């Protein structure tokens, strides 16, 4: 039975207005049942392109397509009645030109019904963000560690350790906020830089691996639910440990099927007469 409420969903304007007042709670969601469970507790649900790694076993997010984001965006929208829902523009769907970004964003918004899109990039994406927001597309920006740049960055690592890196992240955050982003994800960034950015922007910063200094936090839901038992980055906290529970349930099921204990009488249909 569904437990989600029927109240009207939060808007990108209400998320923006939380700056300086309330901390913004954001989690990723990729499917309808998980969206239903998370929705009452979150301000923002992000259909992140991390789904390529989490659901599809990809090494990076580079192989995620717009079709995949549309399918998962639609699924999440079916399970969300409270939180504002944002869908990621995947790699290659927006970097070529402002017009390409607009076409991709419109496809996501029209085919999923989501409230806005997220894209990675700082100064170099500012003109695109201004173009989109001026044309009715709310943009959630993403600076600091940008997973779609993994092939040019040479891997995933926290940023802002050198003065040069710190200055670049500050410039990026300022540029995307000035261009009209309603909020900014700050990923994998050292605390003093995240703190400076949060103090200087008029829109909320949503941190992931960017310290408590941000205006809100986001985590990949599967990470915080403990569905993976391999590598866990330092910035993740496990609020549950569901991986072993799933494994134990599968083991118990396998045992009962092999021994003939399942299905039992109560799971079996019999003719009515």
Catalytic residue numbers read: 187
Per rule CB under 6 A, is residue 220 in the interface with ligand KIV?
yes
Cα angle 205, 11, 209; round to 5: 25
Q: Which of 88, 115, 215, 222 binds ligand KIV (CB under 6 A)?
A: 88
Contact 39, 80 (CB under 8 A): yes
196 is in an annotated binding site: no
Q: Among the candidate windows 43-51, 72-80, 105-113, 156-164, which touches ligand KIV by CB under 6 A?
A: 43-51
Per the annotation, does 256 bind a ligand? no
DSSP E strands in 104-242: the ranges are 116-120, 139-144, 183-187, 205-208, 216-219
48 binds ligand KIV (CB under 6 A): yes
Among candidate residues 236, 232, 230, 231, the one with its CA nearest the CA of residue 210: 236
CB of 199 to ligand KIV, least distance (A): 21
Q: State the number of CA atoms in the 13 A half-sphere of 86 facing the CB.
A: 32
- Residue identified by tokens 């999923």 is 112
Q: How many residues bind ligand KIV (CB under 6 A)?
A: 12
- Is position 67 annotated in a ligand binding site? no
Residue 243 beta carbon to ligand KIV: minimum distance, rounded to whole angstroms: 19
Minimum distance from residue 104 beta carbon to ligand KIV (Å):
16
What sign for the dihedral angle of Cα 68, 3, 1, 218? positive
- Binding flag, residue 93, ligand KIV (CB under 6 A): no
222 binds ligand KIV (CB under 6 A): no
Q: Is 27 in the site for ligand KIV (CB under 6 A)?
A: no
> Does the protein bind ligand KIV through residue 45 (CB under 6 A)?
no
In the window 126-185, what residues touch ligand KIV (CB under 6 A)?
Answer: 142, 185
Q: Which of 167, 75, 174, 163 is nearest to 129 (CA)?
A: 174
Residues found in the chain: 273
Residues that bind ligand KIV (CB under 6 A): 28, 46, 48-50, 88, 142, 185, 187, 208, 218, 220
């Amino acid at each position: 039975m569904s437990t989600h409420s029927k109240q009207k969903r939060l808007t990108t304007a209400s998320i923006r207005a939380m700056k300086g007042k309330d901390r913004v709670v954001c989690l990723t969601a990729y499917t309808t049942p998980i969206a239903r469970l998370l929705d009452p507790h979150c301000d923002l649900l992000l259909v992140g392109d991390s789904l390529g790694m989490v659901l599809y076993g990809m090494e990076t997010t580079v192989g995620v397509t717009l079709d995949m984001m549309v399918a998962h965006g639609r699924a999440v929208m079916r399970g969300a009645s409270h939180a504002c829902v944002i869908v990621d523009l995947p790699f290659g769907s927006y970097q070529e030109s402002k017009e390409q970004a607009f076409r991709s964003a419109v496809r996501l918004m029209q085919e999923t019904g989501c409230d806005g899109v997220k894209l990675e990039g700082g100064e170099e994406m500012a003109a695109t963000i201004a173009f989109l927001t001026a044309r009715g597309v709310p943009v959630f920006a993403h600076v600091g560690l940008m997973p779609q740049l993994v092939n040019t960055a040479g891997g995933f690592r926290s940023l802002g350790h050198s003065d040069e890196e710190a200055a670049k992240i500050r410039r990026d955050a300022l540029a995307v906020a000035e261009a009209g982003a309603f909020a900014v994800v700050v990923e994998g960034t050292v605390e003093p830089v995240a703190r400076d950015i949060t103090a200087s922007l008029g829109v909320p910063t949503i941190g992931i691996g960017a310290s408590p200094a941000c205006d809100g936090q986001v985590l990949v839901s599967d990470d915080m639910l403990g569905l993976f038992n391999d590598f866990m980055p330092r910035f993740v906290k496990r609020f549950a440990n569901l991986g072993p529970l799933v494994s134990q349930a599968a083991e118990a099921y396998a045992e009962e099927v092999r021994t003939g204990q399942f299905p039992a009488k109560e799971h079996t249909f019999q003719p009515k007469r």
